[in-house]
Chains A and B, each alone.
Chain A
Amino acid sequence: MTRHVVVLTAGLSQPSSSRLLADQIAGAVAAEVGARGEAVDLQTYELREYAVDLATMMATAGMPTARLDELRRAVSAADGLVVVTPVFAASYSGVFKLFFDALDPDALGGMPVIIAATAGTPRHSLVLDHALRPLLTYLRAVVMPTGVFAATEDFGGGAAGRDLTKRAGRAAAELAAHVVSSGGDAVAGFTPSAATRDAGVGIPTQVTPFRQLLGRQLGPVT
């Protein structure tokens, strides 16, 4: 069965180095999932294109927009996630954080995630472990041990460039192992999956019968 991986990138410029890194990791994920004999569908979203929707939601005490709802649904339904942000003022960018602020707390439960970031200098590399990893851990995602950080020089040749390719490949292999073990072959109920996540979009299809809500208030029905 086809596995679905969503790639989110929060770069603002065009062309964007975050997008460049996102594409590189996406390619590595496709190769690693393919190597395990499974097909993969990769969808990449530029969070910049949702900046106005996100601002609207924040400025109206939570009014969703249709296209943001669609993205939230796609993210929660994915088998794996790749998230890439530029480093702004020593952390993830504001648009990147706005998106995660817009998610339901149960939207990413058990989701395998590769965290990645770009910056103009390697001195920001710990942003992955000081900012992105705690954010995704709070949302109960499963963050891959290998994060992918790329400073400008890593896009060049030599040891730095080769190392970036290697890191992207290692992170992709880690993600692929999770992604392939989820979905069809997984034992239902034993691993968190899209089925147990709540994108927070629309209303739940299952209602709790009122008797259950009333509990001991009910007494004997006459």
Chain B
Amino acid sequence: MQFGVFTIGDVTTDPTTGRTPTEAERVQSMVAIARKAEEVGLDVFATGEHHNPPFVAPANPPILLSNIAAQTTGLQLSTATTLITTNDPVRLAEDYAYLQHLSAGRNDLMLGRGNTGPVYPWFGKDIRKGIPLAVEHYHLLRRLWREKSVDWEGEFRTPLHGYTVAPGPLDGVPPFVWHGSIRSPEIAEQAAFYGDGFFHNNIFWNKEHTEAMVRLYRQRFEHYGHGAADQAIVGLGGQIFMADTEEEAKRIFRPYFDNAPVYGHGPSLESFTRDTPLTVGTPEQVIERTLGFADYVGDYQRQLFLVDHAGLPLDAVLEQIEILGTQVVPVLRQEFETRRPAHVPSDPPTHASLVAEGPDSPHLQVISATAGLDAAEEAAV
């Protein structure tokens, strides 16, 4: 199972000191966070993509990830998320393949739609077309990574004739793709159709909702013949802050919580802890809460923690990653493997595992579904 951190790269004033990091400091902090993650034995670093203040998460994540690739050796590099709606799928095909070559195949990506209205028109798109954009762009992206010379015409991009992506995917094997969605069943369906991973960023949601979304993805993954429902590739988010005692953790984190972007000046730390996966307490409490996720989504493959937002200073963030790597993740690894049945994969596919599947790998097909494709079967759903 993979464990890691994901960041949205928000530039937020530290409410306890009034200090706001510069953009340069925040960008460099993301590199430091990734390096620390590798140092303490975490598996994954994932960056968001943003096009508006207060976020300095890169408009083009492969830039940050290639810099991190150059400073790490084993860390898996991912995104949370790459915008499949407002980006040109041709650029995505080029950039993420390029990153594969630079990182020796250490990258995957997670696709999302983005929910900031004005970003769409800035890129000539319409947020009301979010789902059709995600569907058309991703299908094109798959073809660009799997077909030598692509002829394509669609609704949202200028047509292509005789286009071949350069550089092509490393070893001819495209990166593994996750689809992230909080509440759109169409995206769970998309992930299931292609046999891709599904990431539910549950950090603002109750477990009943997360459970329902993941269940839908698992059922449809099986429907399309990629394996049993419990073998589908699932990722979750989590939000934590740790100290030696729960009281101490809450004392330190409360001002950050109370002033955080998105939920600050809203619900109390206590009610948010009750209603969402937020855990502020001891490493033992984080372990117990995180292990509980598998009780409602099933055994899953990737767990990403949010540890660096709301204006927390870098040294505090690095300390959280240190605790994660030394006290939390080793226990989680062992406990999750103990409860996982043998037929359920522990890790999501990696470049090495996909290469090992050879030329007949379903991963190399644009559409790899082996069931559920004809109209009669659909009618039976």
Residues of A within 8 A of B (CB): 55-56, 58-66, 202-204, 207-211, 213-214, 217-218, 221-222
The answer on a CB contact under 8 Å between A213 and B378 is no
Pick from A60, A210, A221: contact of B267, CB below 8 A: A60
User: Using an 8 Å CB-CB cutoff, how does the interface string of B198-218 with A read, 1 for contact, 0 for none?
Assistant: 000000111011001100100
Q: Which of B63-71, B258-266, B304-312 contacts A (4 or more CB under 8 A)?
A: B258-266
Pick from A65, A210, A221: contact of B190, CB below 8 A: A210
Task: Tell me, in angstroms, the Cα distance from A203 to B182 when the chains sit together.
Answer: 10
Interface of A, secondary structure class, is loop
- Is B183 part of the binding interface, using a Cβ–Cβ cutoff of 8 Å? yes
Question: Residue among A202, A211, A213 with the most chain B CB within 10 A?
Answer: A213
Pick from A58, A213, A221: contact of B189, CB below 8 A: A213
Pick from A63, A208, A221: contact of B373, CB below 8 A: A221
Chain B residues contacting A64 (CB-CB under 8 Å) are 206, 209
Chain A residues contacting B271 (CB-CB under 8 Å) are 56
Question: Residue among B209, B216, B267 with the most chain A CB within 10 A?
Answer: B267
Task: Tell me, in angstroms, the Cα distance from A56 to B206 when the chains sit together.
Answer: 13
Task: Tell me, in angstroms, the Cα distance from A55 to B271 when the chains sit together.
Answer: 13
The answer on a CB contact under 8 Å between A63 and B275 is yes
Residues of B within 8 A of A (CB): 131-132, 135-136, 139-140, 154, 183, 185-186, 188-190, 192-193, 204-206, 208-209, 212-213, 216, 220, 224, 262-263, 265-267, 271, 275-276, 367, 372-373, 378, 381
Give 19 A-B contacts (CB < 8 Å), ordered by A residue. Answer: A59-B265, A60-B204, A61-B263, A63-B276, A66-B206, A66-B208, A203-B212, A203-B213, A207-B220, A209-B378, A209-B381, A210-B189, A210-B190, A210-B192, A210-B193, A214-B135, A214-B139, A218-B139, A221-B373
The answer on a CB contact under 8 Å between B204 and A217 is no
Task: Tell me, in angstroms, the Cα distance from A210 to B189 when the chains sit together.
Answer: 6
Chain B residues contacting A55 (CB-CB under 8 Å) are 266
Task: Tell me, in angstroms, the Cα distance from A218 to B135 when the chains sit together.
Answer: 11
The answer on a CB contact under 8 Å between A61 and B139 is no
Task: Tell me, in angstroms, the Cα distance from A209 to B205 when the chains sit together.
Answer: 26
Task: Tell me, in angstroms, the Cα distance from A214 to B275 when the chains sit together.
Answer: 36
Chain A residues contacting B209 (CB-CB under 8 Å) are 64, 202-203
Closest to A66 in B: B206
Task: Tell me, in angstroms, the Cα distance from A214 to B189 when the chains sit together.
Answer: 11
Q: 20 more A-B contacts (CB under 8 A) besides A60-B267, A63-B276?
A: A56-B267, A61-B262, A63-B204, A63-B267, A64-B209, A66-B208, A203-B183, A203-B209, A203-B212, A204-B185, A207-B216, A207-B220, A208-B186, A209-B189, A210-B189, A210-B224, A213-B131, A221-B367, A221-B373, A222-B367
Chain B residues contacting A59 (CB-CB under 8 Å) are 263, 265-267
Distance to closest chain B CB from A54 (angstroms): 11
Interface of B, secondary structure class, is helix
Closest to B190 in A: A210
Closest to A209 in B: B378
The answer on a CB contact under 8 Å between B189 and A65 is no
The answer on a CB contact under 8 Å between B263 and A211 is no
The answer on a CB contact under 8 Å between A60 and B185 is no
Task: Tell me, in angstroms, the Cα distance from A211 to B379 when the chains sit together.
Answer: 12
Task: Tell me, in angstroms, the Cα distance from A152 to B367 when the chains sit together.
Answer: 68
Distance to closest chain B CB from A50 (angstroms): 14
Pick from B190, B263, B373, B381: contact of A213, CB below 8 A: B190
Distance to closest chain B CB from A221 (angstroms): 5
Distance to closest chain A CB from B81 (angstroms): 16
The answer on a CB contact under 8 Å between B185 and A203 is yes
Chain B residues contacting A208 (CB-CB under 8 Å) are 186, 189
Chain A residues contacting B154 (CB-CB under 8 Å) are 217
Distance to closest chain B CB from A119 (angstroms): 31
Distance to closest chain B CB from A180 (angstroms): 35
Chain A residues contacting B276 (CB-CB under 8 Å) are 63
Closest to B205 in A: A63
Task: Tell me, in angstroms, the Cα distance from A184 to B265 when the chains sit together.
Answer: 47
Closest to B365 in A: A222
Chain B residues contacting A211 (CB-CB under 8 Å) are 373, 378
Task: Tell me, in angstroms, the Cα distance from A14 to B111 when the chains sit together.
Answer: 51
Closest to B268 in A: A56
Distance to closest chain B CB from A115 (angstroms): 30
The answer on a CB contact under 8 Å between B139 and A203 is no
The answer on a CB contact under 8 Å between B266 and A56 is yes
Distance to closest chain A CB from B230 (angstroms): 19
Known: A210-B190, A213-B189. A61 touches B204 (CB 8 A): yes
The answer on a CB contact under 8 Å between B189 and A60 is no
Chain A residues contacting B263 (CB-CB under 8 Å) are 59-61, 63
Task: Tell me, in angstroms, the Cα distance from A97 to B206 when the chains sit together.
Answer: 25
Distance to closest chain A CB from B329 (angstroms): 27
The answer on a CB contact under 8 Å between A60 and B135 is no
Closest to A208 in B: B186
Task: Tell me, in angstroms, the Cα distance from A114 to B262 when the chains sit together.
Answer: 36
4 closest pairs, A vs B, by CB? Answer: A59-B266, A210-B193, A60-B263, A209-B378
Chain B residues contacting A62 (CB-CB under 8 Å) are 204
Closest to A221 in B: B373
Distance to closest chain B CB from A126 (angstroms): 34
Distance to closest chain B CB from A113 (angstroms): 27
Distance to closest chain A CB from B8 (angstroms): 13
Chain A residues contacting B139 (CB-CB under 8 Å) are 214, 217-218
The answer on a CB contact under 8 Å between A217 and B135 is yes
Chain A residues contacting B373 (CB-CB under 8 Å) are 211, 221
